[in-house]
Amino acid sequence: MSIVKKPSKTSNWYLPGILSGMGFTFKTMIKNIFNRDKMPTLNYPEQKYNYSSRFKGNHVLTVKKDGSLRCTACMLCATACPADCIKITASEHEDPTVEKYPINYEIDILRCVFCGYCEEACPVDAVRMGPEWQTPGLCGSDFNYDIQHLAYRPSLKGGALSRVDEEERHKSGI
Amino acid sequence: MEAKVLTEHYDKDEYRFLDGYKKHGGYQMLEQAFKMQPKDIVEQVKSAGLRGRGGAGFPTGVKWGFLPDNGEPRYLVCNADEGEPGTFKDRLMMERAPHQLIEGMIISAFATGSHKSYIYIRGEYNYPAEVVKQAIDEAYKAGLLGKNILGSGFDHDMDIYLGAGAYICGEETGLLSSLEGKKGQPKLKPPFPAIKGYLGKPTIVNNVETLAAVIYILRDGVEGYRKFGTEKSAGTKLFSVSGNVVKPGNYEVPLGYPLMDLINNECGGLKPGRKLKAVIPGGSSAPVLTAQECLDATMDYECLAQKGSMLGSGAVIVMDDSNCMVDSLSVLMHFYHHESCGQCTPCREGTGWLNKIVHSIAKGEGRLQDIDLILKVAENMKGRTICALSDAAALPAISFVSKFRDEFEFYVREGRSKVKGVSYAEM
Amino acid sequence: MPKCNINGKEIEVKEGTRLIDAFKEAGEDIAHYCYHPGLSVAGCCRLCMVEIEGNPRLQIACNTTVQDGMSVSNESPAVKDAVKWGLDFHLINHPLDCPICDQAGECELQIQYMKFGKYDSEMAEPKVKKHKVVDLGPKIVLDTERCILCSRCVRFTDEVSKTHELGIFNRGDRSEIGTHENKPLDNNYAINTVDICPVGALTSKDFRFRQRVWYLKNSETICNGCSTGCSVKTYYNEEGLFRVKPVHNEDVNGYWMCDFGRDIYKYANKEVRIQNPELNSEDITIDQAITEFESRLKSIDKSKTAVVVTGQQTVEEYESFLGYLKENSINQVYHWINNPDSFEDFDGLLIRGDKNPNTKGLLEVMDKNGFNKPWSELTSKLESNEIEHIIVVAPENVEMYPDMDEKVQMFSKAKQLTWLGTVKNDNINDLKIPMKSFVEKSGTFVNYEGRRQNFKKVTVIVKNAICLTDMVSYLKNKTLEIDNSPEHYKRKMNYFTQVRGGL
């Protein structure tokens, strides 16, 4: 059994509805023309929206006070990554207190699903997801972010400082 | 009442030398011993109820009886590594009567059938070692050591070995490791030293006082020896009394002697105006007794064991009311942390942990839960290791904290000592 | 045969069995660090606590021998508490290094904490600081902070390698493992100490930081480093092999293997391997290569064809290949012995002078086919240009063939050289066919005492490689069935950095 709904009489009066809708649009247009500051949308790309620092956008590798990478190459981020987009090559550091560090850290941003597991897995606050969200590029290799891009890209202004400090940890006896 | 058996002639200077020693009846028992059967001597020591004077109180005759009859060479080792804080009786014995020790050792060696013995002397005891060395030289010259001693056909050689100053080498297997030239670490038991000891051969390790006492068991006979002491703790014993008494020193009293009599009569009591607070009756590793517990304590193995402490090496440390128990425990814990050999994990890590907790309390940085933590840690160090050092650190910690908990709580809350008014760090 | 009751299970064990082994036999879990069945008992970790009926004190299972009628349990609350505290004592001064510790993932502390611990530590005091990254020698790095002083490594150098390099210095919680000045830990069995180290204190420089262990798969095979034929486990992933560890085999190697054997994986990895068949330095397909080989066999006179074999291939390969040669009446088969002077050497533990895993097997098959020509005959024939075509079944483990260059020069005197090898060799400029290495094939090795040991294929490293059996079957049936399907893993196709390229 099927029910067929026949259009009622009132639905034939569509014109007032259209006109009131057009009226609202026109009113908003006038308001926006004369009052551009209060406009809720942005004129992208001339204008850009700044997300909060908690936004899970592009990755940032943090640095220590001396500017070197905080990352210890423990590969927990790579292990936790569900998209398998992090590739790390570890090596022995000259300084015995550092011991292990990454000579290569790559994130394939096109594979990344921005889940934030890497950030959570990191024991030393070395990888964070920042408010940047644009990932433009002209060729495939542009989407493989290397250490230079992840830690020292111009927008980071010399690198983001890690909250975990080895010296303080040593002093407190951990 | 002092009962001078071993120390009868200790006040005479000549007793240190062979002639003087012989003048007072020395080496007569040796000649008599050679006329006996070795197993009769062992039997006599067994029935005299002589117990090890070094700390554990194991019956000496029984220990000798453990030697296997397999024809392997046997060794006798005298444990003169007197490391227990508070103990200084062996030093007196070696300084005053080295020949007494040598005679006792030759008799014991004859009884146990060993032809080589070592006196393992504590590294810090340079002077006693010198005295004993001279005495051994004298004995060799007089034909009391070496081949065919006194025409008996029994050969025996004796050597001195100086330790390097580790407390753990007072433990018999640790001592044997050190004697073998290895790091002084206790060995796993079983096998016990009587089966596999020095260089893997059957070895008897006895304290200085134990070996010397053998002479007097032969001299006085079982009955004569048992005249002193109680049924289970026979004979006399040297007690090294130290701490807040008027006359600290070594006193030889029969076992079973009341502790308060020892403090009040022999040692002249506490300093005027002071009240007794606590006594450690058997060296620093024995649990502490409160003044109340001391009142009816007698100095024998059973009574002290019943009170939850032990006779140990007989080092009585008397503490009056000017002592802060937190500070005392932090000194003790530092000692055990420093002396743990580091072999077994509970002791290696536990002594360090206890030391850190007690010191943080003594620095005024303790937390209330630390007091219970001390008990928990100590409880789990007890009886979990190869040797008894872990117990030796845990038992005083448990007894100090449980018996003087108010002082620890005061220290944690106020950050200063209840007795002294300042913290350990400020002193 | 004493019977005992372990956690309610009745089992019968051999006379003199240690309680801890009886627990393992009964399939019961028991915590322990210092006990190792191949070493003496130290009894210092105090974790294998058990309750023996009739004994008021807890006893350690490693130093107790099973007696008839014994009833033992490690399930009582007292034992569990003792083990928990034992673990806590081990861990209070252990640094939180797991992220940079190579042992993480196969660390006994982690495993046993999850099994027997799972408590919150009450340790609030600062940890003891010790030396980190101590260089013990050319092969091993020590981290004294991570060390739990189980003394396994010390006992190993004292009892097994008998080189006495290691010792425990200082005492109490300041104790550290160490070597004496100018006496580095550098014996032929040194890396075994890394294997037996239950924590990450001893790490092998060769493997250090190269992979996290949870990225590696493992599979058992036979070491092809010498004629002892130790049972080993290879650790690998899609990038290749990373390390080799010994597997307990009472009849051959016990619990150990030598350090030379640990390098065998290096000759199986991609970087050193011949990737494609080559003819005069140009890549060809495998079909072309075998066709070329066949035409050489056919066109050149049998008496002017010589074959050189080494004891590095499997018995199965020898049987098919040498059998094929015999069928085609090629009789000049020569056995290449790399080190005739030290061939019979033996160091008393595992290392043998014969650096081929299957010399016995080769000789058996050669005997069966009646090949017994002396090496000198080949040398003189090459000198007098009597050989036109020489086929060399080259060794895999080239490190053990120091005379390689010299011999290649000698073989090059023949007009045509067919090189059936695994490892690249730039001096050869003729027909090269990539062979499978020992991890890529299944087969049998016969060791020095005639023990036949089967092993299975581990992984695939070079796709185009074939083995002698494959080749013979192609020559006979004209069909090539190379079994190149990876057995243990599917190659991941998201290897992004290499494969993406332009959009």
More confident residue, C501 or C252: C252
- Whether residues C132 and A84 touch (CB distance < 8 A) is answered with no
Residue C115 lies in a domain: no
Contact list in B for residue C175 (CB cut-off 8 A) is 342, 348
Q: How far is A121 from chain C (nearest CA, A)?
A: 10
Class of residue B18 by CB neighbours under 10 A (exposed 0-12, middle 13-18, buried 19+): buried
Q: Is residue A21 part of a domain?
A: no
Minimal Cβ distance to A84: which of C125, C214, C494? C494
Are residues C170 and C296 both part of a single domain?
no
Residue of B nearest to C151 (CA): B343
Q: C502 pLDDT exceeds 80?
A: no
pLDDT at A174: 61
Would you call C41 and B349 a contact, using CB atoms and an 8 Å cutoff?
A: no
**With 90 as the cut, is the pLDDT of residue A81 above it?**
yes
Pick the closest to residue B338 from B350, B327, B326, B352 (CA basis): B352
pLDDT at A39: 81
- The reply to whether A80 falls in a domain is yes
Please name the residue of chain C whose CA is at the shortest distance from the CA of residue A111.
C496
Confidence of residue C482 (pLDDT cuts 50, 70, 90): low
Beginning with the edge strand found earlier in the chain, give each strand of the sheet holding A144-145 in spatial order. Answer: A86-92, A100-108, A144-145
- Residue numbers in C near B370 (CB within 8 A): 124
CATH value at residue C403: 3.40.50.740
Write out chain C residues lying below 8 Å of B338, CB-based.
172
Contacts of A170 in chain C (CB under 8 A): 129
Chain C CB contacts of A143 below 8 Å: 500
> What are C166-189's pLDDT values in tens digits?
999 999 999 999 998 889 999 999
Both tokens assigned to B411: 């220290």
Residue contact C209–A100, C-beta within 8 A = yes
Answer whether B215's CB lies under 8 Å from B207's CB: no
* Residue of B180, B343, B374 best to disrupt the C interface, most CBs of C under 10 A: B343
The average pLDDT across C102-107 equals 92
Residue type, B247: K
Q: How many whole angstroms separate alpha carbon B167 and alpha carbon B124?
A: 11
Which chains neighbour A (Cβ–Cβ under 8 Å, 3 or more pairs)? C
Omega into C99 within 30° of 0, i.e. cis? no
* pLDDT-derived band at A43, boundaries 50, 70, 90: confident
Query: Which one-letter DSSP state was computed for residue C435?
Result: B
Mean pLDDT of C446-473: 91
User: pLDDT band at residue C484, thresholds of 50, 70 and 90?
Assistant: low
Shortest Cα distance from A161 to chain C (angstroms)?
20
Residues with Cβ within 8 Å of residue B68, at least 6 apart in sequence: B194, B195, B202
Confidence tier at C490 by pLDDT (50, 70, 90): very low
Q: Which of A81, A99, A108 is best to mutate for the C interface (most C CBs within 10 A)?
A: A99
pTM of the complete model beyond 0.95: no
Paired tokens of C104: 């993480």
Question: In the predicted model, is pLDDT for residue B318 greater than 70?
Answer: yes
Q: What is the pLDDT of residue B55?
A: 83
pLDDT at B390 over 60: yes
**Distance (Å, whole) CA C391 – CA A17:** 92
**Per-residue pLDDT at A1 exceeds 70:** no
Look at residue C480 and tell me whether its pLDDT is greater than 80. Answer: no
pLDDT in tens, B141-159: 999 999 999 989 999 999 9
Interchain pair A99, C492: CB under 8 A: no
Residue from C219, C270, C226, C227 nearest C243 by CA:
C219
Contact A92 C503 (CB under 8 A): no
Average pLDDT over residues C442-465: 92
Give phi and psi for B377, each to the nearest 5: -60, -45
Q: At what angle do helices B345-362 and B325-339 cross, to 10 degrees?
A: 150
Q: Which residues of B272-289 are buried (b: 16+ CB within 10 A; e: fewer)?
A: eebebbbbbbbbbbbbbb
A141 to C208: CB separation less than 8 angstroms, yes or no: no
Domain end among C71, C91, C111: C91
The answer for A159, left when phi > 0, alpha when psi is -120 to 50, beta otherwise, is left
- Confirm or reject CATH 3.90.420.10 for domain B325-414, answering yes or no: no
pLDDT of B161 > 90? The answer is yes
CATH architecture of the region B236-318: Roll (3.10)
Sorting pLDDT into bands at 50, 70 and 90, what band is C38? Answer: very high
Asked if residue C488 has pLDDT above 50, the reply is no
Residue ranges making up the domain that contains A137: 59-171
Q: What is the average pLDDT across C116-120?
A: 90
Mean pLDDT of A5-9: 74
Give the chain A residue whose CA is nearest to the CA of C215.
A79
Q: Tell how many helices (H) and how many strands (E) occur in chain A.
A: 5, 5
Subunits with 3+ C-beta pairs closer than 8 A to C? A, B
Residue of C nearest to A92 (CA): C209
Query: Are both C220 and C342 inside the same structural domain?
Result: no
Average pLDDT over residues C444-452: 94
Number of domains into which chain C is organized: 3
pLDDT attached to residue B425: 63
Residues from chain C that touch B344, judged by Cβ atoms under 8 A, are 43-46
Mean pLDDT for chain C? 90
Residue A108 to chain C, least CA–CA distance (Å): 7
Query: What pLDDT does C155 receive?
Result: 96
- Enter the DSSP assignment of B187: P
> Residues 6 or more apart from B179 whose CB is under 8 A from it?
B77, B118, B120, B161, B198
C89 interface with B at CB cutoff 8 Å: yes
What CA–CA distances, in Å, run from C447 to A97, C47, C227, C312, C452? 46, 40, 5, 11, 7
The pLDDT score that the predictor gives to residue C483 is 59
How far apart, in whole angstroms, are the C-alpha atoms of residue B361 and residue B359? 5
* Mean pLDDT of the residues in chain B: 92
Q: What are phi and psi of C318, to 5 degrees?
A: -60, -45
Contact (CB, 8 A) for B87 and B315? yes
Residue B191 DSSP class: S
- Single out the residue of B254, B255, B249, B273 nearest to residue B263, CA to CA: B249
| More confident call, A38 vs C321 | C321
Partner-chain contact C132 A140, CB within 8 Å: no
Q: Does C163 lie in the same domain as C32?
A: no
- C338-to-A99, C341, C342, C343 alpha-carbon distances in Å: 41, 9, 9, 8
Residue C498 pLDDT > 60, yes or no? no
Domain boundary among the residues C222, C243, C267 is at: C267
A vs C: CB pairs below 8 A:
63
Mean pLDDT of C277-295: 90
Mean per-residue pLDDT, C458-463: 89
pLDDT score of B277: 95
Express each pLDDT in C202-226 by its tens digit. Answer: 999 999 999 999 999 999 999 999 9
Q: Which residues of C touch B376 (CB under 8 A)?
A: 122
Chain A residues touching residue C502 (CB < 8 angstroms): 139-140
Same domain? For C220 and C300 the reply is: no
Question: Domain of C27?
Answer: 3-91
Cross-chain residue pair A97–C132, CB shorter than 8 Å: yes
Measure the CA–CA gap between C191 and C185, rounded to whole angstroms.
9
Nearest chain A alpha carbon to C145 = A174
Look at residue A47 and tell me if it is in a domain: no
Query: CA A66 to CA C208: how far, in whole Å?
Result: 26
At B298 the pLDDT is: 93
| Chain C contact set for B392 (CB, 8 A) | none
Instruction: Quickly state the pLDDT bin for C227 (edges 50, 70, 90).
Output: very high
CATH number, residue C13 = 3.10.20.740
Q: Which residues are CB-contacts of C184 (< 8 A; sequence separation ≥ 6)?
A: C135, C136, C137, C138, C165
Helices (H), B78-166: 89-96, 98-112, 126-141
User: Would you call B345 and C172 a contact, using CB atoms and an 8 Å cutoff?
Assistant: no
Looking at the structure, tell me whether residues C159 and C67 fall in a common domain.
no
Instruction: Looking at the structure, tell me whether residues C278 and C218 fall in a common domain.
Output: no
Model pLDDT, residue C339: 83
Q: pLDDT value at position C398?
A: 86
Distance, in Å, from the CA atom of C166 to the CA atom of C177, rounded to the nearest integer, reads 7
Domain count for chain A, please give it.
Answer: 1
CATH of the domain at A158: 3.30.70.3270
The answer to whether C170 contacts chain B (CB < 8 Å) is yes
**Are residue C405 and residue C283 in the same domain, yes or no?**
yes
pLDDT at C491 over 80: no
Q: Are residues C36 and C153 in the same domain?
A: no
- Other CB atoms within 10 A of residue C18 CB: 20
What mean pLDDT is predicted for residues A22-26? 96
Q: Residue C501: what pLDDT?
A: 45
The residue with tokens 């290895």 is: B182
Q: Give B167 to chain C, closest Cα distance, Å.
A: 12
Task: Please enumerate residues of B whose Cβ is less than 8 A from a Cβ of C.
Answer: 166, 168, 183, 188, 190, 337-346, 348-353, 356-357, 360, 367, 369-370, 373, 376, 380, 383-386
Whole-number pLDDT of residue A51: 85
Percentage of chain B with pLDDT > 70? 99
Gap between the Cα atoms of B55 and A2, Å rounded: 102
How high is the pLDDT of residue C85?
94
Architecture of the structural domain at B13-226:
3-Layer(aba) Sandwich (3.40)
**Searching chain A, which residue's CA lies closest to the CA of residue C501?**
A140
**Nearest one of C262, C251, C168 to C207, comparing CA atoms:** C262
- Three-class DSSP category at C146: coil
Question: Residue A10 domain-assigned?
Answer: no
Residues C333 and C237 in one domain: no
Which CATH number do you get for residue C170?
3.30.70.20
How far off is chain C from B345, nearest CA to CA, in Å?
A: 5
Domain ranges, ordered by start, for chain B: 13-226, 236-318, 325-414
